[in-house]
Structure 1
């Protein structure tokens, strides 16, 4: 949602001193720091350590264990160059409790002289098992032939996130300068005192000093987990900044007002009567929430979540009819031509008996046909417009857009969603927005990524839908899987065979799916087999999909292009090759292509051994549950928010300090604080400016 190009500046004020104000920072170093999002001294102070080393204590050699990262001190008792496959300098040191070897593969004559027998030495490094006992390889060290070494560190040593050309020592020295500046300069405390007291948040200045130089007795486990009060203080403010920004976006959208679309039910009641089924209670509840929003003079901003097959499209149709009843247009937008075309087919069947005219606009609609569609949209004769991102194009002019329905929002990104909003603006009013997704979004993400939206959940499947049985099987048993497909198709059912690749290359993926098609045609000669992949022309893709839907094909071999929106109730078997390469939410979407009828359905996850621990865990979740929300929570835990929301929205989720999974317990209190700050626009602006720079301006499209 926010720009993902680099990290935003953390400066709360344009007057914050530039990083070049620090001693030793010239143009070249400033350029490297800029790659870390560091442009000012406050930016540097907010560049927090990722972990810490304990150099405050000297550990007896006799108590060391492999894996320890620590400071030791002793006297060099032997120093020799060992010749072998790799020439190395070996120093044996003792401290009265034990002996340790120091190993150097790269060394100079001066180092050899310094590391002579009898010298006192202090080292910091990781302890490893070696050929002759414990050793450190290339430790940091200080050696002295005189009495006494410098004192140990008084604080834990911070390890900072780096970029090419920067060293830890250089950044630590700059941070020390910044902390000195902090004593006399200021990083403003933006959270009001009552808020800090209510939520027991330490002061900003105190938190920053603590995190850059934790005392010897600091709880290292809490720091490593990101749960220390000083870290939580900063995470709280960063999450608050994101939430405030979304609140401001909502306010900007609603400033313009929206058409009041009263529910006359003249068309919607006819539509519901002609359906061969009744709406579920969940569909009725969500429809009522949408209906109430449309009757308000403020633009509806509602996200409707519903698992695969829960009937979101019918809810969208009822909302579209409410717009048409009030002489406004409705736009239905989908991320792929396959899904958009399916919406067009469904809406045509539903709307034509009601005398409602539709327009269809996608990339493949060209020439004279395109001109006809554009004219129908512009003069208002097209009451419902269905299409892909082609609806965003500048040439598309709506006559009177009252409602925009965006399906699978996470595939678009907010800029595109907001540009569609502009299509309906007549200078005074914005269209209502209904956003739908079949990708269940964990509450954590809903509260942060979609805080500008009201949320509804269709948490009930229509009667007659059967749960899908999920089987996890190794590809060494491919012949058994092929036999299962043969039996299902012989019984009059249809099947999907989905191929995936690790590589992002679409051409490689198409090649893999073409090889699979050839193999399956050889082994299943009696079946009618079709092929769909992303490199095919839209027309050819749609033709194959239509043949599959019409049961003219038994088996459809495809890439993940069929993930969203394909509705073939007769398909009862889904084979997914290499499921370990896909996210859980994507696997759940693919599995949702079967089980859409009343016949028992199967999803076979055919993995390639050996599986990693995480892959085993993920596939186990798919086998154990069909609950999309539980799957989404697990996906968030394993892959992070950027993957769940899709690449076009990851920018907004790139937190500097906060972690949505770790800090999810803060979100309720953050919503409360955000509401309290609504009457303090200066504070809101300062907080968002500190954490997001000018990126909150993305609302102005």
Structure 2
């Protein structure tokens, strides 16, 4: 009986283990499993990364450098050399009266014997210019019999991502066997027929077969770009699955209980009246959104995004006061001690005059001081707790945590964010009245997230944007200069500091070793100290002891240091209004988001400020685009869109933490236009066909936990 008909109609073919395929023993199955390939369905969804067109023969004379093609000819000459390393050169010619050289650096004696003059050979590869015309290095090839025509393929050949220990031909064969077992359309399809008809979508089976076995007349350019209708059909369903999984999490969260912090805003009003500035319209709007969330007996899960200096911390402080006046606790967690201390200073200045008791908990708080803080947190005497990841250690027990605030949330690991939320769950579960309730969650980021990315990655959050800077903030002028002009910059620093202002010099050498970056900063510090003897020059980098680092940052903030040489450790958490000049060295090595964060350290006062991006020529095309974007705009949301376009979603979100890295076929930068359609389909499925929604999530996401909501 043929393999494709081995199973009863009632068998769930999609979830059959790969061991049911001929040729998949324990060792092969183990290698496939290491790449997450466990079932036939996993092989169906393992799409090619590119395609090779072997459906036609290109005359050698018509070959173009860099354009892969298939040629056929006869061996004219063979040369085997050992000048520097073993090398085999085979010259072939065809009826177009042109010659092509095939070059091999790795070969066996049996191969050399195959290439006898006059032998017919068909090969595929991308030609390049060589010493004697075009050549192909290590082409794929096969020898043809003189009396055989050598049939051409009817389909484009798929090239799959490599899997260690499994050859390309073996993998292609296994995927082919899995595709032969695809069930019929009705058994495979999950999207309702009326929906497919309205959106003019091919069936899933048709989309899979076309994606794996494109016909010879398929649009190769569209396939290579991932824009073929068959691929887009798969992309749509995958984006839908991830969106639905997040929406499911949101629905589950809203079924839990949280403390309703309704009519308790006297402290928040006192703070607004005491502030030496008025809230911007954007701050007021976002605070009202947060306040409305907190008044409901279901957990808030809101992301507040806004540019550096847009005033997110004030909104967080107002939210914390709503919890504190209700007799409960609030906690704010930041990823670095620098940033946490910045928040601590602000919150003490704002909240302590209102009688709020604030506790500080970081790694350097030890001994009796630490024991005292832990007691205050556990008893409820500490109403507001500020700290780093130390907040999530097992011995930290809250009395009644009602609001968890996480700053720069993408810098935390998933389990760390979950752990802070669970602090409230575990404590409150001990109180029968609050059993099962969870804290409200407010997450903040100064890395603006493109709207399209937020729709995909944060479908389980409400997203607010503080898209207005406080009045009086002077736009930062950004200049891009070659490193050859360093002497001019040193003079510019001399002039700025002589006028009483301060400056940063940021060393951004990228290396696997923090020590190397520290050495670069140390060297720069010594050179600048020698060049500017009249200035007080400071140094801060990640390898310094925490106390020394904090002391240096405090000295700079207090004006005791004129020029601070630093690594990107100062990217977040430093607010020095008198600093009006920043030089970023090797700026071409950094992404847009990081450059934008660094630039946000200046322009925080009333003085005109500048950011100089020093680059080491020559610039790559991508680096040139990044630096040009920085020069043209200071709008964080515009920069975020460009960053998504250039680099994809990875660093913007910390994809390993959100699950976005698990996309099999979708590309958020390329496929953003599908997201509104995805949301519309998700609404319809959740309302009318929740069982289908579950099956779509199971197909693409499976049992993998999604923690973007953490």
Q: Over residues 241-266 of structure 1, what are the superposed CA-to-partner deviations in whole Å (9 max), with x where a residue is unaligned?
A: 11112112222222221111114331
Following superposition, the deviation at residue 221 of structure 1 comes to 1.0
Following superposition, the deviation at residue 84 of structure 1 comes to 7.0
The answer on whether the counterparts of 2:330 and 2:402 sit within 8 Å (CA) in structure 1 is yes
With over 3 angstroms needed to count, the CA separation of the structure-2 counterparts of 1:278 and 1:206, relative to structure 1, is same
Following superposition, the deviation at residue 555 of structure 1 comes to 1.4
With over 3 angstroms needed to count, the CA separation of the structure-2 counterparts of 1:355 and 1:208, relative to structure 1, is same
Q: Are 2:700 and 1:683 equivalent residues in the alignment?
A: no
Alignment counterpart, residue 532 of structure 2, candidates 513, 519, 524 = 524
Match of 1:414 in 2: 414
Match of 1:167 in 2: 167
Match of 2:701 in 1: 692
With over 3 angstroms needed to count, the CA separation of the structure-2 counterparts of 1:260 and 1:169, relative to structure 1, is same
CA distance in 1, matches of 2:144, 2:232: 42
With over 3 angstroms needed to count, the CA separation of the structure-2 counterparts of 1:276 and 1:223, relative to structure 1, is same
Q: Are 2:382 and 1:382 equivalent residues in the alignment?
A: yes
Following superposition, the deviation at residue 63 of structure 1 comes to 2.5
CA distance in 2, matches of 1:406, 1:90: 63
Q: Over residues 656-700 of structure 1, what are the superposed CA-to-partner deviations in whole Å (9 max), with x where a residue is unaligned?
A: 110001110111111122222224443233222222222136589
Q: Over residues 577-624 of structure 1, what are the superposed CA-to-partner deviations in whole Å (9 max), with x where a residue is unaligned?
A: 111121111111111111001100111111122221211111111111
CA distance in 2, matches of 1:339, 1:630: 25
CA distance in 1, matches of 2:100, 2:584: 53
Q: Are 2:491 and 1:483 equivalent residues in the alignment?
A: yes
Match of 2:345 in 1: 345
- Secondary structure at 1:504's aligned position in 2? coil
Q: Over residues 120-159 of structure 1, what are the superposed CA-to-partner deviations in whole Å (9 max), with x where a residue is unaligned?
A: 3333333333444334444333334541233111111111
Following superposition, the deviation at residue 35 of structure 1 comes to 3.2
Within-5 A mapping of 1:319-468: 319-425=319-425, 426=428, 427-468=435-476
Match of 1:19 in 2: 18
With over 3 angstroms needed to count, the CA separation of the structure-2 counterparts of 1:305 and 1:106, relative to structure 1, is closer
With over 3 angstroms needed to count, the CA separation of the structure-2 counterparts of 1:193 and 1:515, relative to structure 1, is same
With over 3 angstroms needed to count, the CA separation of the structure-2 counterparts of 1:131 and 1:279, relative to structure 1, is closer
- Secondary structure at 2:652's aligned position in 1? helix
With over 3 angstroms needed to count, the CA separation of the structure-2 counterparts of 1:142 and 1:523, relative to structure 1, is closer
Following superposition, the deviation at residue 302 of structure 1 comes to 0.9
Within-5 A mapping of 1:86-485: 88-95=88-95, 98-104=98-104, 110-112=110-112, 114-182=114-182, 188-425=188-425, 426=428, 427-485=435-493
Q: TM-score, normalized by length of structure 2?
A: 0.92
CA distance in 2, matches of 1:538, 1:347: 21
Following superposition, the deviation at residue 465 of structure 1 comes to 0.6
- Secondary structure at 1:663's aligned position in 2? helix
The answer on whether the counterparts of 2:119 and 2:143 sit within 8 Å (CA) in structure 1 is yes
CA distance in 2, matches of 1:115, 1:149: 19
Structure 1: 4+ residue segments shifted above 6 A = 12-15, 184-187
Match of 2:6 in 1: none
Alignment counterpart, residue 493 of structure 1, candidates 486, 495, 501 = 501
The answer on whether the counterparts of 1:466 and 1:601 sit within 8 Å (CA) in structure 2 is yes
The answer on whether the counterparts of 2:14 and 2:39 sit within 8 Å (CA) in structure 1 is no
The answer on whether the counterparts of 1:36 and 1:162 sit within 8 Å (CA) in structure 2 is no
With over 3 angstroms needed to count, the CA separation of the structure-2 counterparts of 1:157 and 1:523, relative to structure 1, is same
Following superposition, the deviation at residue 283 of structure 1 comes to 0.9
The answer on whether the counterparts of 1:579 and 1:606 sit within 8 Å (CA) in structure 2 is yes
Match of 1:568 in 2: 576
With over 3 angstroms needed to count, the CA separation of the structure-2 counterparts of 1:217 and 1:393, relative to structure 1, is same
Match of 1:639 in 2: 647
Following superposition, the deviation at residue 184 of structure 1 comes to 7.3
CA distance in 1, matches of 2:120, 2:90: 15
Q: Over residues 175-223 of structure 1, what are the superposed CA-to-partner deviations in whole Å (9 max), with x where a residue is unaligned?
A: 2211222257997322232332232221111111111111111011110
CA distance in 1, matches of 2:57, 2:293: 67
Q: How many residues align?
A: 689
Following superposition, the deviation at residue 112 of structure 1 comes to 5.0
Q: Are 2:81 and 1:79 equivalent residues in the alignment?
A: no
CA distance in 1, matches of 2:564, 2:279: 31
Match of 1:3 in 2: none
Match of 1:611 in 2: 619
Q: Are 2:663 and 1:664 equivalent residues in the alignment?
A: no
The answer on whether the counterparts of 1:412 and 1:648 sit within 8 Å (CA) in structure 2 is no
CA distance in 1, matches of 2:515, 2:465: 38
With over 3 angstroms needed to count, the CA separation of the structure-2 counterparts of 1:252 and 1:419, relative to structure 1, is farther
- Secondary structure at 1:252's aligned position in 2? helix
The answer on whether the counterparts of 1:410 and 1:648 sit within 8 Å (CA) in structure 2 is no
Following superposition, the deviation at residue 643 of structure 1 comes to 1.4
The answer on whether the counterparts of 2:246 and 2:706 sit within 8 Å (CA) in structure 1 is no
Following superposition, the deviation at residue 98 of structure 1 comes to 4.1
Q: Over residues 327-377 of structure 1, what are the superposed CA-to-partner deviations in whole Å (9 max), with x where a residue is unaligned?
A: 111111111111111111111111121111111111111111111111111
- Secondary structure at 1:470's aligned position in 2? strand
With over 3 angstroms needed to count, the CA separation of the structure-2 counterparts of 1:141 and 1:128, relative to structure 1, is same
The answer on whether the counterparts of 2:89 and 2:101 sit within 8 Å (CA) in structure 1 is no
Match of 1:55 in 2: 54
The answer on whether the counterparts of 1:263 and 1:291 sit within 8 Å (CA) in structure 2 is no
- Secondary structure at 1:520's aligned position in 2? helix
With over 3 angstroms needed to count, the CA separation of the structure-2 counterparts of 1:80 and 1:646, relative to structure 1, is closer
CA distance in 2, matches of 1:379, 1:459: 39
Within-5 A mapping of 1:572-591: 572-591=580-599
Following superposition, the deviation at residue 82 of structure 1 comes to 5.6
Q: RMSD across aligned C-alpha pairs, in angstroms?
A: 2.3
Unaligned runs of 5+ in 1: 1-11
Match of 1:45 in 2: 44
The answer on whether the counterparts of 1:498 and 1:577 sit within 8 Å (CA) in structure 2 is yes
CA distance in 1, matches of 2:518, 2:103: 51
Q: Are 2:513 and 1:515 equivalent residues in the alignment?
A: no
The answer on whether the counterparts of 1:577 and 1:606 sit within 8 Å (CA) in structure 2 is yes
With over 3 angstroms needed to count, the CA separation of the structure-2 counterparts of 1:327 and 1:520, relative to structure 1, is same
Within-5 A mapping of 1:540-579: 540-579=548-587
With over 3 angstroms needed to count, the CA separation of the structure-2 counterparts of 1:399 and 1:103, relative to structure 1, is closer
- Secondary structure at 1:696's aligned position in 2? coil
The answer on whether the counterparts of 1:19 and 1:25 sit within 8 Å (CA) in structure 2 is yes
CA distance in 2, matches of 1:30, 1:195: 37
